[in-house]
Amino acid sequence: MLLRNGIKSAVFALMAMMSAGALAEELLVAAASDLSFVLPEINKAFEAKHPDVSVKVSLGSSGNFYAQIQNGAPYQVFMSADEKYPRDLIASGNALADSYNVYGTGRIALWTMKPAVNLSQGLSGLMDARVTRIAIANPAHAPYGRAAEAAIKKQGVWEALQPKLVFGENISQTAQFVQTGNVDVGVVAMSLVLSPKMRGIGRWAEISSALYPALVQAAVVTRAAENSAIAREFVKFLDTAEARDLLQKYGFRDTK
Amino acid sequence: MTWLGLPAPLWQALILSIELATVTTVVLMVVGIPLAHWLNTTRFFGRSFLEVIISLPIVLPPTVIGFYLLVTFAPQTPLGQLWQVVFGHGLTFSFAGLVVGSVLYSFPFAVQPYQAALRSVPKELVEAAAAMGATSWQVTRHLRLRWARAGIFAGSGLAFAHTMGEFGVVLMLGGNLEGKTRVSSIALYDLTQALEFEQAYRYAAVLLVVSMLILIMVSLLQKHMEIRQPTM
């Protein structure tokens, strides 16, 4: 009898949990991979304010998400690593103009696991013959890759460094090439080297923001979420002191 | 230098895919045929387990193969250093590295047909040949390989086609180097990522036609061989 009651209450508890899960509104967020560490914290803070919402994040390259949303992907919020993709989505009617929100400016840094690599000279120091492989994100479609390319060119060392370059699919893969030691040094997002997971691993040095066009990053609500109040709430939440503190902690420069 | 509206680097990527598939297939034949024969004829403890390992890439996500290679052959690891000594450069971001990844990735697609083909050689013929004094090399060369050649060809064709379509392993290991590791599947991915849909459509169509031609060629040649197959 006792056992049966136990089972009964367990079943009830399970059903209650399941129905609570079913009631929770899902919010699908497509986010650039430089947000992979800060976003879970932002989501936690957001969900604490909206207990009935469960934020589901897909991480990837901004260009990829742009193309997918253009073609009807069900994401409700798009957090790009630049401002152009969100603007283009608005222009084509696939995102809501009044939801456009700049949430921060990205910074880039040199990151290495190799004791022999000298970071004190910045990008020029990478002309050293002991540096044979340098990873950057693919400039063809990754905003951080474009920033890296611009910085190397502005520094006047493109000719010297180009033969050493390998390209990560996005900024996370670029960091992964560095962390596994497959390249000597990489140009990665500050948000990755400042994350608790990466902090203290290897050495890093920020690349002067004078060397590349500002990586202004914007979020936008997609057309798929036209009628979703919670999607708008989420994008607005990025403006709160709480979210901005988190973004700054992870190396994004505040733009407000 | 554009052809069919596609610039030279895209054609280079296609040629690189064909090169990779060719080298991979040759390696698979050299390693796979003796291995298949050995697995067919030798009974030993753990044989089934070894066969399971060989079949793994059929279900294993290619990214897993790529990830393991990336980690085990990193320059600071013993295997990575050994590779460095032998080849003079790292495994990652090199054509040789892609060959290693592709051989692992396509292994079961070659070895399983090889095994089936070699198993189909009638025992009576092998015994008769041996009884008439044929050396084991003669039996292999004139009987087994001749008898099994349609199956061997099918397995090799499958491995070639499978490697042509490889994406995950290369994405993990390649570093997207033009002329070295940017194969056609990666080049197409890049086009879509850069939103060059016009070129992406053309290039995808080219890849589609090339893949179809390869499959048609393989199947025609295989039929041709089966017709000329000796019968009992």
Q: Give the pLDDT confidence of B86-104 residue by residue, as tens digits.
A: 998 888 889 999 999 999 9
* Rg of chain B (C-alpha set): 20
In a domain? residue B2: no
| Residue A39 pLDDT exceeds 70 | yes
| Residue A10 pLDDT exceeds 80 | no
- Would you call A144 an interface residue with chain B, using a CB distance cutoff of 8 Å? no
In a domain? residue B5: no
Strand partners of residue B169: none
B143, B230 Cβ separation under 8 angstroms: no
Q: How confident is the model at residue A16 (pLDDT cuts 50, 70, 90)?
A: low
In a domain? residue B194: yes
Residue of B210, B193, B227, B167 lying closest to B18 (CA atoms): B210
In a domain? residue B1: no
- Name which of A138, A141, A182 is nearest B74 (Cβ-Cβ): A182
In a domain? residue B7: no
Q: How confident is the model at residue A11 (pLDDT cuts 50, 70, 90)?
A: low
| Domain CATH for B114 | 1.10.3720.10
- Would you call B194 an interface residue with chain A, using a CB distance cutoff of 8 Å? yes
Mean model confidence pLDDT for chain A: 90
By residue range, what is the domain housing residue B215? 15-227
Q: How confident is the model at residue B223 (pLDDT cuts 50, 70, 90)?
A: confident
Q: How many domains are contained in chain B?
A: 1
Domains of chain A with bracketed CATH: 2-105+215-249 (3.40.190.10), 108-206 (3.40.190.10)
Q: Give the pLDDT confidence of B47-71 residue by residue, as tens digits.
A: 889 999 999 999 999 989 999 998 8
From the CA of A12, how many Å to the nearest CA of chain B?
A: 39
The ipTM value here is 0.75
Residue with token string 């013929």: B125
Q: How confident is the model at residue A6 (pLDDT cuts 50, 70, 90)?
A: low
From the CA of B178, how many Å to the nearest CA of chain A?
A: 10
What value, to the nearest 5°, has the Cα angle with vertex A166 and ends A164 and A170? Answer: 150
pLDDT of res. B229: 61
Distances (CA, A) of A97 to A94, A102, A219, B54: 9, 12, 11, 54
In a domain? residue B203: yes
Q: Give the pLDDT confidence of B105-138 residue by residue, as tens digits.
A: 999 999 999 999 999 999 899 899 989 988 888 9
Half-sphere CA count of B51, side-chain side, radius 13 A? 17
**Mutating which of B76, B87, B93, B181 best tests the A interface, going by the most A Cβ atoms within 10 A?**
B93
pLDDT of res. B193: 76
CB-count burial class (<10 Å; 0-12, 13-18, 19+) for A148: buried
**Range in A20-34, B8-22, B131-145, B193-207 with the lowest mean pLDDT:** A20-34
* B175 to A167: CB separation less than 8 angstroms, yes or no: yes
In a domain? residue B163: yes
Query: Which residue type does B156 have?
Result: S
In a domain? residue B6: no
Q: Give the pLDDT confidence of A48-85 residue by residue, as tens digits.
A: 999 999 999 998 888 888 988 988 888 999 999 999 99
Torsion-angle region of B133 (φ positive above 0: left; ψ -120 to 50: alpha; else: beta)? left
Q: Work out the percent of chain B whose per-residue pLDDT is above 90.
A: 62
The predicted model scores a pTM of 0.81
